[in-house]
């Protein structure tokens, strides 16, 4: 049979960080960087996968898939969720930086799900299946935001998602702004375990308050780490709503202020920033044409997202690069993106 190809985009989150697994609001957009999977059916019940981005390969019976601790767990996890019975050869290519906070893992699970035949299912079901695959096969207790954005992204729009009932609105980005993503080129080793630790702290705060999610609650009775986690989540939810209102009314300064406030809360209350991310935000804050900047994704390295006036983009990119190189001694990877469409088959 003729091979088929599928693509799933990475995402950048404009605001609403560490709120998805707390039943809160997020504001991601799919981006132009993507993962592509070429699939060829096999008659022998074996699932094989290889990639241009990693040295390890997968070659296993589809009825006996087990986590191995490398990237192929994302592929095997999806195949296990889909309970596939036919074998397949998968060739995976990506241009999303790995571990950069731009959802390379969700792009991989979503593209794999489409390649393994999930394309006719409702998009939201595919997103949930991909989240479960990652939770169960890699131990990363991530929320729904990344596969949601990769499955349901819309060109020119960010998605304002309510992660409690999974309803969403596609919000157009004004023509006059660009999204500038700045990769600090660092990823601190604790990122995976610290993510699960933060999630556990949120869950224990919710349990102490007798609620399922940190939302619509009074957190003043909490103390210590639980107080700080809850305060971040509750105030971040409000910032997402304020950001949305500012964007819709065309007040880009007000939208940008919410981004700076989000970064500050992630730094001081939720404690998921790092010196490199803080430096990138501080450099951006001084540049004309930057409305707002903040870390994006789980934190502990990876990228910042900058909301930038379209006519200032070239200057902002070169000054951000020079400023970060002087401050951190590393050359950052900086690129301009616009919201892209969600996952699809590539028809050539």
Is residue 10 helix, strand or coil?
strand
Q: Any contact of residue 246 with ligand GLA (CB under 6 A)?
A: no
Among 6, 8, 20, 39, interactor with ligand GLA by CB under 6 A: 20
Q: Cβ closer to ligand GLA: 11 or 157?
A: 11
Among 111, 142, 246, 247, interactor with ligand GLA by CB under 6 A: 142
The nearest distance, CB 17 to ligand GLA, in angstroms, is 4
The nearest distance, CB 21 to ligand GLA, in angstroms, is 6
Q: How far is CA 155 from the centre of its chain?
A: 17
Return left, alpha or beta for 297; rule: phi > 0 is left, psi -120 to 50 is alpha, else beta.
left
Among 5, 7, 18, 157, interactor with ligand GLA by CB under 6 A: 18
User: Which residues touch 344 (CB under 8 Å, ≥6 apart)?
Assistant: 6, 7, 114
Q: Cβ closer to ligand GLA: 183 or 319?
A: 183
Binding to ligand GLA (CB under 6 A): which residues in 165-224? Answer: none
CA distances from residue 324 to 76, 162, 318, 337 in whole angstroms, order as listed: 38, 35, 10, 20
Given 20, 73, 146, 269, the catalytic residue:
146
Give the bridge partners for 182, in sequence order. Answer: 304, 334
- C-alpha angle 202-199-53 in degrees, rounded to nearest 5: 160
Q: How far apart are CA 82 and CA 59, in angstroms?
A: 17
User: Which residues touch 328 (CB under 8 Å, ≥6 apart)?
Assistant: 184, 276, 279
Burial class for 43, CB neighbours closer than 10 Å (0-12, 13-18, 19+):
exposed
The nearest distance, CB 142 to ligand GLA, in angstroms, is 3
Q: Cβ closer to ligand GLA: 50 or 241?
A: 241
Is residue 152 helix, strand or coil?
helix
Binding to ligand GLA (CB under 6 A): which residues in 275-334? Answer: 297-298
Segment near ligand GLA (CB under 6 A), from 12-20, 67-75, 251-259, 340-348? 12-20
The nearest distance, CB 117 to ligand GLA, in angstroms, is 24
Among 15, 17, 244, 269, interactor with ligand GLA by CB under 6 A: 17
- Quick one: DSSP state of residue 174? P
Q: What are phi and psi of 242, to 5 degrees?
A: -70, -40
Q: Decide if 59 is catalytic.
A: no
Nearest to 274 by CA among 263, 290, 260: 263
Q: Cβ closer to ligand GLA: 89 or 264?
A: 264
Is residue 347 helix, strand or coil?
coil
The nearest distance, CB 62 to ligand GLA, in angstroms, is 26
Q: Please, are residues 256 and 307 in contact by the beta-carbon 8 Å criterion?
A: yes
Segment near ligand GLA (CB under 6 A), from 88-96, 142-150, 255-263, 282-290? 142-150
The nearest distance, CB 127 to ligand GLA, in angstroms, is 11
Binding to ligand GLA (CB under 6 A): which residues in 63-102? Answer: none
Nearest to 265 by CA among 228, 217, 320, 211: 228
The nearest distance, CB 73 to ligand GLA, in angstroms, is 15
Which residues bind to ligand GLA, rule: CB under 6 A? Answer: 17-18, 20-21, 142-143, 145-146, 297-298
Q: Which residues are catalytic?
A: 146
């Amino acid at each position: 049979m003729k091979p088929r190809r599928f693509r799933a985009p990475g995402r950048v989150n404009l605001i609403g960080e560490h709120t998805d697994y707390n039943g809160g609001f997020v504001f991601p957009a799919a981006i132009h960087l993507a993962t592509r999977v070429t699939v060829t059916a096999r008659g022998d019940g074996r699932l094989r996968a290889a990639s241009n981005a990693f040295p390890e390969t997968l070659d296993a019976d589809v009825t006996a898939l087990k986590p191995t601790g490398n990237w192929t767990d994302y592929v095997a996890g999806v195949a296990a969720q889909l309970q596939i019975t036919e074998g397949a050869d998968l060739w995976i290519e990506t241009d999303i930086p790995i571990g950069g906070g731009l959802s390379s893992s969700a792009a991989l699970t979503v593209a794999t799900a489409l390649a393994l035949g999930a394309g006719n299912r409702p998009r939201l079901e595919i997103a949930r299946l991909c989240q479960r695959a990652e939770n169960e096969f890699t131990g990363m207790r991530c929320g729904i935001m990344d596969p949601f954005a990769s499955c349901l992204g819309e060109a020119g729009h960010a998605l304002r998602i309510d992660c409690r009932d999974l309803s969403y609105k596609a919000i157009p980005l004004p023509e006059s702004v660009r999204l500038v993503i700045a990769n600090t080129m660092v990823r601190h080793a604790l990122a995976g375990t610290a993510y699960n630790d933060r999630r556990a702290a949120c869950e224990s705060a919710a349990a102490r308050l007798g609620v399922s999610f940190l939302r619509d609650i009074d957190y003043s009775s909490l103390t210590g780490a639980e107080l700080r986690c809850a305060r971040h989540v509750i105030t971040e939810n409000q910032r997402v709503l304020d950001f949305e209102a500012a964007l819709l009314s065309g007040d880009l300064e007000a939208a940008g202020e919410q981004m700076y406030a989000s970064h500050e809360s992630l730094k001081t209350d939720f404690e998921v920033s790092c010196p490199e991310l803080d430096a990138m935000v501080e450099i951006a804050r001084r540049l004309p044409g930057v409305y707002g900047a903040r870390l994006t994704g789980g934190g502990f390295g990876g990228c910042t997202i900058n909301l930038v006036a379209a006519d200032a983009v070239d200057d902002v990119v070169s000054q951000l690069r020079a400023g970060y190189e002087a401050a951190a001694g590393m050359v950052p990877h900086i690129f301009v993106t616009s919201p892209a469409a969600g996952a699809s088959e590539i028809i050539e």
